[in-house]
Amino acid sequence: MPEESIENINFDDLNKRAISQPLVTNIYTADPSAHFFNGKIYIYPSHDVDAGEAFDDLGSHFAMEDYHVISMDSIDSEAVDHGVALHVDDVPWAKEQMWAPDANEKDGTYYLFFPAKAHDGIFRIGVATSNSPIGPFKAQQEAIKGSFSIDPAVFKDDDGSYYMYFGGLWGGQLQRWRSGEFNAAQPDSPTAFLPEDNEPALLPYVAKMTDDLLEFSEKPKAIEILDKNGNLLLAGDNNRRFFEAAWLHKYNGKYYFSYSTGDTHFICYAIGDSPYGPFTYGGRILNPVVGWTSHHSVCKVDKKWYLFYHDSSLSKGVTHLRSVKVAEITHREDGSIETLTPYKD
């Protein structure tokens, strides 16, 4: 539900019809990356603030400057905000816009992966580490070499390999990297350098991580998202093509790549046989929420699967003041995922 339609919404009624309620209400949170570590749920969201920036399609009003970690003892228990885990002022290479993060664990060390604009105005992806899943995290001096764009998600495969998925259009700058170098022309345009509608859509990227999870072990590769006929989705296919919010989970031996379609506000998924893809479009996990953005994660807790997502219901539709939520999802016997509608009729 895009911003322009909120004047007609009765938010008291909407919140009664919502399939879930905000997990925390003391702060605004978004883009929840959820993980199940040591029998407990940890959520790594963005921390939304109202910084007074102008609304634009570059996302200037998303002026987040730190990260909090949220934990839950079980899926039904109270969510606890553990306070600031990392602030932009403590990241030497970063200037602003601490957007959607992710985390993972290896050998007792916890890793926070995050995008931020460097001092040259280009988004990079950084890493910070801690001996606790709730932080505080200490950032590396430099961003990951060869990193670009936004929305890192780090998946641990069954063989112990870790892969980072990333990318985002418009303010996420992915379209500025089409030549392999950053194109700084037309800096105020969020849509300059996008493909034509009849051309293949821009693709997200994946890179295997080094053993210490601090760098890429290879040059990032594009992830192909195909239709049922094996053709790449087109740039004009706004209801299905990748926009941002990459995530990967594994179910019954298959790899599920899920993502947001951005300006059409769906969370979609595609299925493949390898962490590198290709992935064949499978359908929608989540229909549009209130607020412009949609961003999620998929996490197995005990024997059930959950979608962690956000909407702008608590702020009564303010696009950059969002709240993290959770709802159970179902994989059908054929491997498809049932589509959730965030508000009952």
List residues with catalytic annotation: 31, 244
The CA-based angle 33-38-39, given to 5 degrees, is 85
| Cα separation values, 59 from 145, 158, 225, 281, 299, Å | 24, 36, 25, 27, 27
Residue owning tokens 């934990």: 71
CA distance 270 to 138: 34
As given in the structure block, the two tokens for residue 92 are 């030497």
- 320 alpha-carbon distance from chain centroid: 15
3-state class (DSSP) for residue 14: helix
As given in the structure block, the two tokens for residue 109 are 């060390």
CA distance 94 to 115: 9
Half-sphere exposure of 176 (CA within 13 A, CB side): 23
Alpha carbon distance, N-terminus to C-terminus of the chain: 14
For residue 241, what are the β-bridge partners? Answer: none
CA distance 194 to 172: 12
| Cα separation values, 68 from 21, 109, 154, 185, Å | 19, 18, 18, 35
As given in the structure block, the two tokens for residue 16 are 């009664």
As given in the structure block, the two tokens for residue 311 are 């909407």
As given in the structure block, the two tokens for residue 115 are 């995008």
| Cα separation values, 302 from 77, 127, 306, Å | 14, 28, 10
